Structure 1
Amino acid sequence: MRTLIITAFMSLDGVMEAPGGEEGYRNAGWTFRDVPFDEAAYEIKGREQDEATALLLGRRSYEAFAPVWPSMTEDFARYNELPKYVVSSTLTDEDLADDWGPTSILRSVEEVAGLKESDGGPIIVHGSATLGHALSEAGLVDRYHLLVFPLLLGAGKRLFGTADVDAIPLDLIEHEAYGNGVQKMVFDVARKAGD
């Protein structure tokens, strides 16, 4: 079974929206504007590209990344080559970018479960808050890669949903704190026997 990893920049109060400066959000660009840059904190991002064998995105994140990432050949060269899967009930093949490598549309969380059962390595989920909530609630998330920034942002999309679900235990498998206050936390979702 393939490992499904959600990776996110997150404020201390759980906001993941617009870390790089997307328009339409009051605090857009908070990772670069409000916290001093420390290259060491981003080591995990390079590792993710090296280890990933596919990208999984929700529709809104796909529509935000598809016009930008293909031209960012230095930062996202490996991601540009990988197969991409977009979970959407509305996108059609005609809506997909022509210059961003192989892309398939999945129509449901059940189809994501089928993808996890296929051959291959880790599947990385960037952005995609709504999809992330659904994947977590369906028990499909295996690992979280979090860079937690020392900020309280208040409003914004949250990494974790608010559904009334059973507790999900996590095992901290990697942690590091950086001089700029950012903390890296990697958690495996603890599975009960038989899961």
Structure 2
Amino acid sequence: MSLIVEQIVTADGYAADEHGGIGFFEAGPDDEDHTGVDADQVAFLHHVDAILLGANTYRMFADYWPSADPQAEPVTEPINRLPKFVVSNTLTTAPWGEEHSVQILAGNPIDTVAALKAHFHGIVVWGSLQLTDALFRAGLVDRLRLRVVPTLLGSGRSYTPDGLGLLGLELDHVFQHPSGHLTLEYAVRRDPPPIE
């Protein structure tokens, strides 16, 4: 069972600006043809069988993806088809378009996500920085997938929590788009502690 955290980040490692903004997503150079990025993302989603979101990211996704055009953005189909879960103790409903909904996972996020991992082969978490902070601290993240925008922000919010400590990674996938965007996928190492 694999929990994959995927983040869009700047080349200097920020997932949001100091005010939580993500305008840098569109700041890097663009291509007229996005098929390479889409193909890589669709191929990645073939290994995913569930989507996990925090409440804020769920709201952003639910406002966009249910009505997105799959001809223009091929990732629309798997995003809408895959089962989705939102970790929240405040949401009472989580609609996804007019006909579907997202299952709400209330309670302790570590316990609920650990239980979820037992039922799915590959779960992707997009954005959801507060949730991913907790998952990193709890050692529940198995893979890290970074989509690097070729721009520098200088300051902002890291995609990892403060005080995480040393965490080993093994690179096993790189996709380079002509625009300079990169996708880097790592396995999180579970090295035993050193013997003293």
Give the shorter-chain TM-score range.
0.7 to 0.9
Give the structure with the higher percent strand. 2
2:62 matched residue in structure 1: 66
Q: Percent identity?
A: 31
**1:177/1:68 CA distance change after superposition, 3 Å:** closer
Equivalent position SS for 2:171: strand
1:34 partner SS: coil
CA RMSD of aligned residues (A): 2.5
Residue 177 of structure 1, CA deviation: 3.4
- On the 8 A contact 1:3/1:122 being kept in 2, the answer is yes
* Deviation of 1:90 (Å): 1.1
**Contact residue 27 and residue 151 of structure 2 kept, 8 A:** no
- Measured in 1, the distance between the counterparts of 2:164 and 2:96 equals 39
- Unaligned residue ranges in structure 1 (runs of 5+): 19-23
Does structure 1 retain, via aligned residues, the 8 Å contact 2:52–2:125? yes
Counterpart CA distance in 1 for 2:114 and 2:82 is 19
The AA in structure 1 aligned to 2:26 is: F
Q: Retained in 2: the 8 A contact 1:15–1:156?
A: yes
Runs of at least 4 residues off by over 6 Å: none
Equivalent residue letter for 2:79: Y
SS of residue in 1 equivalent to 2:46: helix
Contact 1:82 1:102 in 2 (8 A): no
- Number of matched pairs: 183
TM-score, normalised via structure 2 length: 0.82
3-state SS of 2:7 partner: strand
Corresponding letter in the other structure for 2:61: F
SS at 1:66's partner residue? helix
Whole-Å separation in 2 of the counterparts to 1:160 and 1:186: 15
Matched ranges for 1:23-102 at <5 A: 25=21, 28=23, 30-37=24-31, 39=34, 40-74=36-70, 75=73, 76-92=76-92, 95-97=93-95, 99=97, 101-102=100-101
Is contact 1:35-1:180 (8 Å) kept? yes
Deviation at residue 191 of structure 1 after TM alignment? 1.4
Alignment partner, residue 16 of structure 1: 15
Does the aligned pair in 2 maintain the 1:83–1:101 contact within 8 Å? no
Alignment of 1:98-137 (within 5 A): 99=97, 101-107=100-106, 108-118=109-119, 120-137=120-137
Q: Measure the CA separation in 2 of the matches of 1:8 and 1:111.
A: 21
Listed as ranges, the matches of 1:179-190 within 5 Å are 179-190=178-189
Q: 1:166 to 1:103 in 2, by over 3 A?
A: same
